[in-house]
Amino acid sequence: MRKLLFLIAIGAMVLCAQERGGGRAQAPHTNLKVLPDDANLIPAMRAAAAGLGQQCGFCHEQDRASDAKPEKVTARMMFQMVKDINSKMPDAKIKVTCYTCHRGMPEPVSAPPAAQ
């Protein structure tokens, strides 16, 4: 399972890097309300993309600071929810991620798959 998550995360990183223009220096990020503008920002975005099985454009407009897409507003609320849940864990480890509920799908998976 960890290998699968690792492969999904790597794939999302490659796709987002291509979409953002590779390794070029970026201006400071703007309109951040939940996530800090630090070294963890882009890995968090890539993990979210992998957890939802989507590329960056699913939530973002070309102007990354824009809140025009409702998916971005929802994602911001979800990031806050995940942050709140993980902050209450006694061992301070991350227990909940986007993948916990979404399992690589845009909509959360609410029931196990039917038996085959």
> What are the domain boundaries of the chain?
2-21+34-102
Pairwise CA distance, residues 72 & 75, whole Å = 5
Confidence of residue 80 (pLDDT cuts 50, 70, 90): very high
Which pLDDT score is estimated for 20? 53
Percent of the chain topping pLDDT 70: 78
Query: How confident is the model at residue 71, as a pLDDT?
Result: 96
* Pair 108, 101: CB distance under 8 Å: yes
Record the pTM.
Answer: 0.70
- Scan for tokens 């942050």, then name that residue: 83
Residue 80, Cβ neighbours under 10 Å: how many?
13
